[in-house]
Structure 1
Amino acid sequence: MKRALLILAIASVSGCTVGPDFVGPQTPLPDSWESPARTGTAIGAVVDSQWWQQLGDAQLTSLVERAAQSNLDVRTASSRLEQSRVMRQVTGSQQYPGVSTGGSYQRQRSSAEGLLDPSNLNGKAPYELWNATVDASWELDLWGHVRRNVEMADADVQLTQSQRDGVLLSIAAETATDYIHLRGIQARLVVAQHNLDIARQSARLTQNRFDNGVTTNLDTANSAAQVATIEATIPVLRAQEEKLINALSYLLGEPPRALGTELSTVKDIPHPAPDVPVGLPSELARRRPDIQQSEAALHRATAAIGVAKADFYPRVSLGASVGFQALNGSDLGAWNSRQWSYGPSLYLPIFQGGRLTGTLELRKRQEQEAALNYQKVVLSAWHEVDNAMSDYAAEQEHHAALEEAVRQNTLALNTARDRYNQGATDFINVLTVQRALLATQSDLVDSATDAAIDRVRLYRALGGGWPRT
């Protein structure tokens, strides 16, 4: 018996593992993307996980780092990660023998007409029964059933880790986007206030000319309407500013308006360096959390096939028990009260009504689905990176053209006002040019905002940034 148990133990350690072994899938991604922004140099596969620092805004960096600590979605994802690690610990415990101890005390009376009376009192009086035992059990993992379960648990940990990384990336990107939008709205408020001052100056000038009989009330009405039109935009922009501050407060797990004092001071829109490295390698996209998550899901599905196959084979467990049993508490622990047992147990599935076969087939189909989902996620990432690069490059050109338009419209407005003061043109020309200037200035602010946000989208699409030179 001892030799048999030793052989079974050795077989458990060196036993085979049924089912397919997981091999990392090959991605169809290219070695590099040809960036539409043809500046910069090729880089390696190193990812800058703190990419928001490349936006060059200390307050934004503070907000993102605080959101990573206090955001409720991040904390929930972290809790799920800890749960998966605990489950891995629970599953891993199946690889080792289980030892337990216990004791019991009973006072009872047996039937005089029954089959068994261990007290030999023939059911005439009650008796006591004392027990104290140490039990041990161990399933011999001959076919890898336990090892595949542990492998699934490891894949679950990687999956929840990737989910948490994805939440962190999303929260960081959302925080940066809302912050950039906030600075853009504040910049539009500055533009509106500046144009409002110009419109009021024009209105006063027009009124003076009307009072002196130089112009008609048509010009005064037009100038007053221009003032009112610009004034009407300011409350709307203020409301958008408050909503964005509330959005950032929510991301940081704070109540509404909690960041009002901190964010009410106007600052420039973050303006990162425009260059994007040409040789962004495919390894960057492989670091995207969603790709890692889908790969972990594929790994888990592959290991599940091994678990389903192992269920077809016998399961052998070793058990042992040693302890004491006595009718009197004073005898418990005496050498004559000792008892023990040991030996193997065997479970062999013979007929399961197709349950095992159906489960195996189901696991294979689930593995195929996970493989298809992996390909889908990778292809989607490829498109997302390419689109993000195109959008960012196009916005750079758009911004440069708008800067020139603002310069020309500013010059045109100054010229139109001078000519109006000299009586060489009517006020309609001044209004037309001023409206054009206000529109292009607002468009320039929106373009600067969009350029910064497109940069954030590029970081998010790549799962992080690239090394700073």
Structure 2
Amino acid sequence: MRHSLLFLAMLGLGACSVGPDFQRPDAQLPDTWHASPHLGAAPGSPADSQWWQQLGDAQLTSLVERAAKANLDVRGASNRLEQSRVMRQVTGSQQLPGVSANGSYRRARNSAEGLNDPSGQSGQAPFELWSSTLDASWEIDLWGHVRRNIEAADAEIQLTQAQRDGVLLSIAAETATDYIRLRGVQAKLGVARQNLEIAQQSRQLTQARFENGVTTNLDTSNAAAQVATIQAVIPALGAEQDRLINALSYLLAEPPRALNAELIEPKSIPHPAPDVPLGLPSELAQRRPDIQQSEAALHRATAAIGVAQADFYPRVSLGATLGSQALDGSDLGAWNSRQWSFGPSLYLPIFQGGRLTGTLELRKQQEQEAAINYQRVVLGAWHEVDNAVTDYAAEKQRHTALQEAVSQNNIALSTARDRYTQGAADFINVLGVQRALLDTESALVDSATAAAIDRVRLYRALGGGWPRG
């Protein structure tokens, strides 16, 4: 027995892990981002702080942080992360010996014509058999079969952690986007009501001039049509407002209209800080959850090759049993009732019909697929950042131009109304300028909304979010 223990201990000390060791892939990214001169790029990383706070809206910050705790998708992803940690514990237990205890009682009668009767009564009478055992077994991980399985389980934890981070980032971005759209719709409602008031004033003006015989009913009809046209816009905007409040309620795992009291009062569209902390491209692989997820999947696939290669080699297990057995329960604890066994066992795969070879080749192909997917995800992330930078910079330029257009249209409307009152211009000119003002004011609101949403998309593309814990 001593010689067996010494031999197996030496085998354990000389154990190795077959298969390739994982090497973190090189994320092929540029040295610097191609930032537009209109962007206002700044040093720093969006992952250094919670990016939604940079939008400067306390209510938005509250909604995002509440969604991170209550959202059902986030809670489901957190549960999957805990499952992977438990599976790691189960896989890790294979490194330790397994110990179990058994006890049994049996009353039986054997055949008198059979091979034997343990009771010694030649099958003439029933007998009782009492037994208790303590069993132990341990597989010596000579070729790293268990260690590679544990490595794959660790990679699975990293993968589910990245998945959870990705869900958190998506929910934060979706909450911010819906909130910005809500404030944009409320701003358009304000624009529509303000223009409705102007249109109603124009209708009163044309009605007074008609009653004084200065103009015809053509002007009054045009003015009334303008009022009705603007009134028709308001119910659709109100319905969109309700839908967006419900969308935010769903993200917070609340029933419909649960946030009405909190969000129904109009507020301004969030106005982000002028500078954008783009960070370094080399940091993207550590920030983007999808890149981290694809890297963990590659690590898991690499470890699976080692598991498949270890299946070609012998497996050595050490087993032991200690117990007692007696025909009388009172003798179960007697010294003469003891029984024990100890010894190693060897499993050697000789012919498996190509199963082991096929499995190994499959694992290698799966690793290649995971490596290709990693390259695809990294390249896609690069494109996403570049497009987000371009879109945000372009929308900022558009917003500046629309601000000037609204300012000039206000001046034009005031001038046209004065000239109409003085009889120096037709009412059709007033209507044209008023429609232009309504269009440019609505476009300005859309641009402010789009700029804020593009900023959110840029943060999402850069992988900003909660620091990983």
TM-score bracket, shorter-length normalisation: over 0.9
Is the aligned partner of 1:315 residue 2:315?
Answer: yes
1:246 aligned residue: 246
**Counterpart for residue 84 of structure 2:** 84
Query: How far off is 1:2 after superposition?
Result: 1.9
AA at the equivalent of 1:254: E
Aligned twin of 2:27: 27
Q: What is the CA distance between 1:346 and its match in structure 2?
A: 0.5
Give the direction of change, closer, same or farther, for the CA distance of 1:364–1:278 in structure 2 (3 Å limit).
closer
- Corresponding residue SS for 2:352: coil
The answer to whether the 8 A contact 2:272-2:452 is kept is yes
How big is each residue's C-alpha offset from its partner over 1:127-155, in whole Å with a ceiling of 9 and x where there is no partner? 11111111110000000000000001011
Amino acid corresponding to residue 180 of structure 2 in structure 1: I
Please state if 1:436 is matched with 2:456.
Answer: no
Between the aligned partners of 1:272 and 1:41, the Cα distance in structure 2 is 13
Identity of aligned residues (%): 76
Pick which of 156-165 and 49-58 moved more.
Answer: 49-58
Q: Does 1:145 align with 2:145?
A: yes
Alpha-carbon distance in structure 2 between the residues aligned to 1:68 and 1:355: 46
d(CA) in 2 for partners of 1:227 and 1:45?
50
Q: Which residue of 2 aligns with 1:361?
A: 361
Task: Find the aligned partners of 1:168 and 1:12 in 2 and give their Cα distance.
Answer: 44
Q: CA deviation at 1:53?
A: 1.0
State the Cα distance separating 1:357 from its structure 2 match.
Answer: 0.3
Unpaired runs of at least 5, structure 2: none
Matched ranges for 1:17-96 at <5 A: 17-37=17-37, 40=40, 43-44=43-44, 47-48=47-48, 50-96=50-96
Tell me the distance in 2 between the aligned counterparts of 1:42 and 1:190: 34
Whole-Å separation in 1 of the counterparts to 2:236 and 2:42: 45
**Matched residues in 1 for 2:342 and 2:53: separation?**
64
Asked if structure 1 preserves the Cα contact closer than 8 Å seen for 2:107 and 2:127, the reply is yes
Matched, 1:166 2:128: no
How far the C-alpha of 1:281 sits from its partner, in A, is: 3.0
Q: Contact 1:41 / 1:278 at 8 angstroms: preserved in 2?
A: yes
The amino acid across from 1:320 in the alignment is A
Whether the 8 Å contact between 1:45 and 1:281 is mirrored in structure 2 is no
Alpha-carbon distance between aligned partners in 2 of 1:183 and 1:349, rounded to the nearest angstrom: 68
> Residues 281-320 of structure 1 correspond to what in structure 2 (within 5 A)?
281-320=281-320
Partner of 2:216: 216
Q: TM-score, normalised by structure 2?
A: 0.97
Deviation at 1:336, TM superposition (A): 1.0
Which amino acid in the other structure matches residue 454 of structure 2? Answer: D
Partners of 1:233 and 1:48 in 2: how far apart?
A: 43
The alpha-carbon distance between structure 1 residues 44 and 466, as it changes in their structure 2 partners (threshold 3 A), is farther
Checking the alignment, whether the CA contact within 8 Å between 1:249 and 1:257 is kept in structure 2 is yes
Between 354-363 and 110-119, report the one with greater CA deviation: 110-119
C-alpha RMSD of matched pairs (Å): 1.5
The 2-side partners of 1:116 and 1:67 are apart by: 72
Unaligned runs of at least 5 residues, structure 1:
none
| Matching residue's letter, 1:113 | E
How far apart in 2 are the matches of 1:401 and 1:89? 60
Q: Which residue identity lines up with residue 456 of structure 2 in the other structure?
A: V
Partner amino acid, structure 2, of 1:91: T
State the Cα distance separating 1:27 from its structure 2 match: 1.0
Deviation track 1:319-363 (CA, whole Å, cap 9, x = no partner) reads 001011111111111111111111001000000000000000000
Note the C-alpha offset of 1:41.
6.2
Separation (CA, whole Å) in 1 of partners of 2:375 and 2:238: 45
The answer to whether the 8 Å contact 1:56/1:271 transfers is yes
Q: Is the 8 A contact 2:301 2:370 kept in 1?
A: yes
Q: Which amino acid aligns with 1:405?
A: A
Equivalent in the alignment of 2:409: 409
- 1:230 partner SS: helix
Q: Is this contact kept in 2: 1:284–1:463, CA < 8 A?
A: yes
Q: Distance in 1 between matches of 2:396 and 2:305?
A: 51
Aligned-residue offset at 1:278: 6.2
Task: Give the letter aligned to residue 292 of structure 1.
Answer: Q
Q: CA deviation at 1:31?
A: 2.4
Note closer, same or farther for the CA distance 1:278–1:122 as it changes in structure 2 (3 Å cut).
Answer: closer
SS in 2 for 1:448: helix
Q: Which residue of 2 aligns with 1:197?
A: 197
C-alpha distance in 1, partners of 2:292/2:368?
Answer: 17
**1:448 Cα deviation (Å)?**
0.4
Alignment length, in residue pairs? 467
**1:13: Cα distance to partner?**
4.2
Letter in 1 for 2:408: Q
* Whole-angstrom CA distance in 2 between matches of 1:194 and 1:48: 42
Instruction: Tell me the secondary structure at the aligned position of residue 101 of structure 1.
Output: strand
8 Å contact 1:134–1:321 — kept in the other structure? yes
Q: Are the aligned partners of 2:206 and 2:219 in contact in 1 as well (CA < 8 Å)?
A: yes
